[in-house]
A and B are shown apart, each in its own frame.
Chain A
Amino acid sequence: MTLPPLPDAAVTLHAEAGDWRAAVREAGRALARSGATREGYADRMIEVLEEFGAYIVIAPGLALAHARPGPDVLRSGLAVVTLAEPVAFGHPHNDPVRVVVGLAVSNAEEHVASVAGLANVFNERTAIDRLAAAASIDDVRAVFDGAGAPSSPGGEEGAGS
């Protein structure tokens, strides 16, 4: 259930992105900068949207950009990009996107377990607003760290393993 680490290099605040591709590319850049992936991973995240549509916009204002494990994933990683201006991804209900979470995982099994930790972060209803409004990396980290605390609101029994 532990999330991949969120180093400073993996956070970009108030990114200027003209469209969804640019927004996803920012997440790819952050993942590469943090050492989790190679640059090519951004293209694979974009291909996922081209193939399946904007289903990765899983809540109002939030996109979870990711691709399958692959040789361009050096280690599991998490990135957070907030957008200076909201961007439409083409989702019928959850557009426009204000926060892009980028995710890279080295194998699928580990992925399913660790990503469940993201549910703990975003089940807190204010998480997306707090991330969108974050003025510093510490503000971002507080949203993620808060969800890991044993007494987190709504954290009850925790799901799965």
Chain B
Amino acid sequence: MRIVAVCGLGVGTSAILKANAERALARLGLSADVEASDLASVAAAAADAQVVLTSTELADQVRAALGRTWAEIIEVENYFDVDDIGRKLEASLG
């Protein structure tokens, strides 16, 4: 299973989102390969991903960059709310 965490630059906020997605997955007893990406390369990075995690602010830009995709786009408002990230991942994967 692959998950891509996307932010504008692929450095900084997506790295935090990646870390907390991994933490949420561990709590749920799920394992997945979580990768950080920037908007410019998200189409390639998400080609075989099940889930794309991003901030609500960037979701429209991520949808536009991805075009048609099998991946579910999950929007996160608070990057440090691991419980919320876990609930959203569980709903999507579980």
Show the binding face of A for B, using Cβ within 8 Å.
48, 51-60, 64, 66-69, 91-94, 103, 105, 108, 111-113, 115-116, 118-119, 122-123, 125, 156-157, 159-160
Show the binding face of B for A, using Cβ within 8 Å.
7-16, 18-20, 22-23, 26, 36, 39, 54-58, 61, 77-82
Is B58 in contact with A115, judged by CB distance below 8 angstroms? no
Contact of B9 among A68, A113, A122, A125 (CB under 8 A): A68
Is B18 in contact with A112, judged by CB distance below 8 angstroms? yes
Pick 9 A–B contacts, CB within 8 A, sort by A: A55-B57, A68-B11, A93-B78, A112-B36, A115-B19, A123-B80, A125-B80, A156-B23, A159-B23
Q: How far is the CA of A69 from the CA of B11 in the complex (A)?
A: 9
Q: How far is the CA of A107 from the CA of B33 in the complex (A)?
A: 22
Which residue on B lies nearest to A122, using beta carbons?
B80
Q: How far is the CA of A92 from the CA of B26 in the complex (A)?
A: 30
